[in-house]
Amino acid sequence: MSPASSPVHPSLSLRQLFPGLVQGAGRGDDRPDALAVDGVSCSRADLLAAALSLAGRLTGARTVVVEATPTLDTVTAVVGALAAGVAVVPLAPDAGPLERGHVLRDSGADAVLGDPAWAGEAESPLERIPVPAPGTDEACRLDADTRAGSFVMYTSGTTGPPKGVVLSAGAVAADLDSLAEAWAWTAEDVLVHGLPLFHVHGLVLGVLGSLRTGNALVHTGRPLPERYAAAGGSLYFGVPTVWSRMVAEPATAAALRPARLLVSGSAGLPAPVFDALTGLTGHQPVERYGMTETLITIGARADGERRPGQVGLPLSGVRTRILGEDGDPVPHDGETVGDLQVQAPTMFDGYLNRPEATAACWTEDGWFVTGDVATIGPDGWHRIVGRASVDLIKSGGYRIGAGEVEAALLAHPGVREAAVVGEPDPDLGQRIVAFVVADEGTDPAVLTQFVADGLSVHKRPRRVEFVESLPRNALGKVQKSLLIPGA
């Protein structure tokens, strides 16, 4: 299947994309604090008015950049750009000049919404369009029935310069509806999170999901445990780092007991954190899996089982398969590792200006190649091992998932964090190396034997390095290339 034969998404108006926002803005019970970001709140009506006012100023624009700070300005800017039918590019606030310059050039942006400090630099000669504050009555306004725009969201660039992933409004709507069904997510919820607004998790799921569903949203600005606890939500989104910090403060974690559902994503949740969170809050967290290119495709359900270290079952309309190196399907035995491929109604439209890279992501028989390795159990439950490029270790003729070894290490009471990589070895091809944050006095030989006893001898680390911390990105994913160059 080529990109042309990937799902064809319907054209949606802003009203169709965000019925919860548009309908809520017209109701008499519209709350003045329906949307709150870092302590600043507004009603749906005020947000919609400001966004449509902004949209009216974007006539002639094709692509706009938004410095995605955790503010109501960012929400207004994104909704306004979508309302104007243009492509919106969320940019990380801490992006350096090289990364920022690449995104601006590659996206072809012709305007920036707001007035970030870098917008006046010589290498960033973009038109600056101010973002009206919610509640201001601007004369220039579009109708909510205008065709909605799209997203260009940039990948992390682990295999080269970041690529722009083009996501349509239709793909976003399809994914949010499948998650609402899986998590029993309704307008009665109060969603709380403090995740970055330049990634799918924080922006698409956390913010746009609330505008589509019509629930109240509390973005905490920073994902601090005390802010989560004080928000009084029914539905919480977090990454493993958030939940790890939460369980480190038992009294704070206990404040989440009245919640309905805790969701973890963007990286695997260590089993000890899963267990601690369950004990302190009374909730087993739901995990899910996805990519920028596919949005969320696999997850546990609100009314179903949750298992530490596993992400669940395919969401509605999603199909998955795992293949071996020979291209043949591998057994669904929960142990055999294979390359994960998916088919879904939530797929991206392609990489911006990169038709060859887009085509390379698809197999001849129409499956998207995720680049991740996984196992599938006899009952269909999925466990994500990690990226094929860094988390599939080929040692002594065995295919070993780094995630399995990391989970085994984290089961040791002296280990707080672990990252496993494959290091070139003249005899084995690759040898397993573990970078571990551990309690003082932990013996590397004991950890090696602990893994050998729990898994099998060929999966034991050949070297254990103790470190003070693991390098992580904004979503809590370990940056393994910083541990061993080329890993």
Give mean pLDDT in consecutive 10-residue pieces for the chain, a chain of 487 residues. Answer: 58 94 90 95 95 92 95 97 96 86 92 88 78 81 84 75 92 97 98 94 96 97 96 95 93 97 90 94 96 96 95 97 93 93 96 94 95 95 84 77 85 91 83 92 93 86 93 78 67
Write down the pLDDT at residue 425.
80
The reply to whether 407 and 281 lie within a common domain is no
Question: Which position has the token pair 């080529």?
Answer: 2
The domain boundary residue, chosen from 266, 291, 316 = 291
Write down the pLDDT at residue 77.
97
The domain boundary residue, chosen from 258, 291, 324 = 291
Half-sphere exposure of 242 (CA within 13 A, CB side): 29
Write down the pLDDT at residue 432.
92
Residue 230 DSSP SS3: helix
Write down the pLDDT at residue 487.
47
Q: Is residue 354 part of a domain?
A: no
Q: Is residue 110 part of a domain?
A: yes
From CA 468, how far away is CA 461, in angstroms rounded?
19
CA–chain centroid gap for 186, Å, is: 21
Do residues 77 and 91 make contact, with C-beta atoms less than 8 angstroms apart? no
Phi, psi for residue 245 in degrees, rounded to 5: -70, -30
The reply to whether 101 and 248 lie within a common domain is yes
The reply to whether 284 and 421 lie within a common domain is no
The letter for the amino acid at 398 is Y
pTM of the model: 0.84
**Which helix (H) or strand (E) segment is 278 a member of?**
helix 271-281
- Number of neighbouring beta carbons within 10 Å of residue 372: 21
Domain extent at residue 219: 3-291
Maximum separation of any 2 CA atoms in the chain, in Å? 72
Write down the pLDDT at residue 374.
94
Q: Is residue 13 part of a domain?
A: yes
Write down the pLDDT at residue 195.
93
Q: Strand runs (DSSP E) across 7-132, as ranges?
A: 35-37, 40-42, 63-67, 87-91, 111-113, 127-129
The letter for the amino acid at 249 is E
Number of domains in the chain: 2
Q: Is residue 382 part of a domain?
A: no
Write down the pLDDT at residue 126.
87
